[in-house]
Amino acid sequence: MARFKVTYRVTASDAAEARQRAEGIALEQTVEIPRDIVPTGFIEDEILGLVESIDTEDGNHFNAVISYSPETAGPDLIQLLNVIFGNSSIQHGIRVVGFDPGTEIRNRYPGARFGVAGLRKLTGRKQGGLIAPVIKPMGSTSDELAEIAYRCALAGADLVKDDHGLANQSSAPFQSRVVKVAAAVARANSETGGNCLYFPNLAGAPHQIMEQAMFAKHAGAHGLLVMPGLFGFGSIFELANEPELGLPIMAHPSFLGSYVLSADTGFSHAVMFGVLQRLAGTDISVFPNLGGRFGFTREECISIAAACTDPDGIGIPMLPSPGGGMSPERAAEMQAMYGQDVVYLLGGSLLRYGDRIGEGIKLMRAQLD
């Protein structure tokens, strides 16, 4: 079986230490026993991770490529992630910066079911960025949230999403919220002839998520917002690949920040918000935009967008969705940076318009066109 490869950026004082650390990762992520007692034969030849190459990045950082047999991952995404970074996540100075799935893992993980092309078809937005206002704040009633969604859809939003903090609070419980907001968006669509989509934020206990997702579909939702940092990437994969559900998935970065913020541990921004998302089947990947209240750099944001749309990535290209500090005033700058295939999240800046929220949507659309 074609092995998959992970590139680890390893902190080490010299090439000899980098080699030693890479051999350590190859053991840690598979057999987890000392090298000298690894059984010969199948375990040594197939199961043990293999250091394929080590390149110097700078004096203290080395890029080590380690290959693994798909047999180590078994049939489940959770175990694949466990092999990629399970225990090595706990060691200082190891960061995952690249993933080459190889043919076997590509066959197992089809990637996004909708992606860029599918979302353009669903929204009817043939070109240009998609506008995605966020309904909030937490504590609002379902009726209040539905009214905001209605105004946004009427004004030409492509996609209305719940704030990721809207869960199952008594002010707007998941099921009643989804019913009311979906109906409001449908009413606006019937008035405009448009195809604004509604993505509720999946909420509930783990055993309820498929039931909640099916409820949302039958209530008229067009997709789902899901937080892999809290529900797990395995849940994204299940939702994306359940044939009876058939809804596009938008992933939210909540609880995932700690994986990218430290330069010497975790995952690179591109792997976390691009590569892993495509592996799991995400169609739209939300990430914090530069210049807002999150500290991502321009380079990091561009690397995420590139990983989302890379034609050589897993499955079909999907949509990057920068949010945080986004406003109509920044539309031109954002378009120059991200290009056409992007979903612009508009949150707090839009709510500032109050009842005239539609004006903000129209202004954003005009700026993008």
Instruction: Assess 1 for contact with its own copies (CB under 8 A).
Output: no
Distance CA 106, CA 329 (A): 41
Per-residue binding string, its own copies, 130-159, x by CB under 8 A, is: ------xxxxx-------------------
| Residue 30 engages its own copies in binding (rule: CB under 8 A) | yes
Rule CB under 8 A: is residue 333 a binding residue for its own copies?
no
Q: Which stretch binds its own copies (CB under 8 A): 22-30, 51-59, 100-108, 151-159?
A: 22-30
Q: Smaller CB distance to its own copies: residue 85 or 119? A: 85
Two tokens at 337?
A: 């940076």
Among 7, 88, 285, 327, binds its own copies (CB under 8 A): 88
* CB-nearer residue toward its own copies: 62 or 237: 237
Taking CB under 8 A as the rule, does residue 110 contact its own copies? no
User: Per CB under 8 A, does 176 bind its own copies?
Assistant: no
The CB density around residue 187, as the number of other CB atoms within 10 Å, is 15
Residue 175 sits in the site that holds its own copies (CB under 8 A): no
Residue 262 vs residues 6, 57, 89, 276: alpha-carbon distances, Å: 19, 17, 12, 18
Q: Is 336 in the site for its own copies (CB under 8 A)?
A: no
Rule CB under 8 A: say whether 280 interacts with its own copies: no
Does position 115 bind its own copies by CB under 8 A? no
Cis peptide before 137 (omega within 30 of 0): yes
115: left (phi over 0), alpha (psi -120 to 50) or beta: left
C-alpha span between 148 and 162 (Å, rounded): 11
Tokens of 33: 């026993």
Is 109 among the residues that bind its own copies (CB under 8 A)?
no
Distance CA 30, CA 22 (A): 13
Footprint of its own copies on 217-256 (CB under 8 A): 227, 229-235, 237-238, 253-256
Beta bridge partners of 10: 62, 94
- The answer to whether residue 124 forms part of the interface with its own copies (CB under 8 A) is no
> Secondary structure of the chain: what % helix, strand, coil (to 5)?
45, 20, 35
165 is a contact residue toward its own copies (CB under 8 A): yes
Q: Considering the complex, state which of residue 33 and residue 332 has its C-beta at the smaller distance from its own copies.
A: 33
**Taking Cα atoms as reference points, which of 280, 247, 279, 353 lies closest to residue 4?**
279
Q: Which residues, numbered 44-83, are part of the site for its own copies (CB under 8 A)?
A: 46-47, 71-79, 81-83
Q: Residue 118, interface with its own copies (CB under 8 A)?
A: no
